[in-house]
């Protein structure tokens, strides 16, 4: 199964930032809940979101997207 990109550039950057903040907060409060931050970081890094695929949604702007 090939993962076709469905997360745009801006969405990807926001996911990585938000995920990093969640991980940092989890470390700060010494909680395992920080592992939830890995989900947005990974989906932002690979530009693929399974929820978007299920909903047949995409935030990609074909005119402004980066190369592979």
Domain coordinates in residue numbering, the chain? 9-53
Tokens encoding 36: 């939830």
What's the confidence (pLDDT) of residue 64? Answer: 65
Rounded-to-integer distance, Cα 1 and Cα 22, Å: 30
Question: Does residue 12 register a pLDDT over 80?
Answer: yes
Question: Does residue 68 register a pLDDT over 80?
Answer: no
* Residues in Cβ contact with 41 at an 8 Å cutoff, skipping those fewer than 6 apart: 15, 16, 19, 20, 23
């Amino acid at each position: 199964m090939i993962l076709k990109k469905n997360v745009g550039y801006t969405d990807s950057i926001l996911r990585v930032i938000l995920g990093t903040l969640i991980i940092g907060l989890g470390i700060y409060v010494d909680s395992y809940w920080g592992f939830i931050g890995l989900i947005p970081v990974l989906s932002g890094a690979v530009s693929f979101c399974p929820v978007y695929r299920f909903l047949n949604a995409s935030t990609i702007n074909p005119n402004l997207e980066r190369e592979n």
